[in-house]
Structure 1
Amino acid sequence: MEIRARAALIIIDQQKGIHHPRLGRRNNPHAEERMLALLAYWRLTGRPVIHVQHLSRSPDSVFWPEQSGVAFQDAFVPQAGEQLIQKRVPDAFCGTTLEVSLRAANIGQLMLVGVATNNSVESTARTAGNLGFETWVIEDACYTFDKADFFGQLRSAEAVHAMSLGNLHGEYATVISSGQLLA
């Protein structure tokens, strides 16, 4: 795989609230390390970095704008020259300027990392693929949480993560590991 000079790294919802205990058990305990390695590489090579911040509409959310959970984790605070997209729903394209700004900058290749795999990552990847962007989801730089399915059966974060990646791979995006991307 070739990383183009104008490939954008899109870091989704790396905010303080994502570590709230009420979200439960997660998978990929080293996902942040992998995200930070990718971020360091993107910054070193001068490629575009886009930080996505969720501003929830629900006061019960860990991303409610009027509490500390909405702030970026210290290691993921955007630097000068890096784009910030603030969203109100899981999909980073919906109701934002993301598509317009990507097209204006002639960016056609997107690398998605962040949280939650089955929510904001998956919805953003689906839209990106549908809009014709060459979309890559970096599986070991994303994570999610244990979740009950529609019928009430608890599914492990690993199973939820795997199913979400399965939903995306080959149709909306290409799923790879950070090692494959940086090789």
Structure 2
Amino acid sequence: MITNDGLKQGDKIPSERELTERLKVGRSSVREALRSLELLGLIETRRGEGTFLGDFKNNQLIKLLGMFILEDPNVKNDITKTKKLLEKDIIRNICLLTDNEQLQALRKNENEDSDILFDRIMDLESNRLLYRIWDVLKSYSAEIMDDYAQLDHNSVISFLDALIEGDSEKAIAIYERKDSSRNLI
């Protein structure tokens, strides 16, 4: 419906009555669905004005899904493996960047804490959904991990240089050396 009607962020969505007719469902079902979408931040209700499409980038769906993930007793291993896969994909994607100006700027901050630097590198991922999933997994892994190793200063420099050169194999090899000493960056 959003695509068919050409609706964009900030546009008014059809009324409850119209949604009921178009979707051929009861009004209570439409109200419940709208309440759920509002809780997730996908829509915004303005008194006297109507209901509008929200900014999907700010929705809470990823965090909500994460809460369910944490209920599984095997979650520690799953989170670690998934986070590692995402980090490798993000590293590969960043190595494909044709404009490495942002990486060059990070290279100037090479003495920064490696966790902060790695977060800044991950933030260069253009796929915002991939980045948000990684960010949630990072938060959860910080809660469940007792300790983890960091890259030493020389490895941070080598890692940044590999990213700037677009050498994903070298960057991932440095990343995995760090990983083998304990956990992820």
Give the TM-score taking structure 2 as reference length.
Answer: 0.25
Structure having the higher helix fraction is: 2
**Larger strand share, 1 or 2:** 1
Structure ID, larger Rg: 2
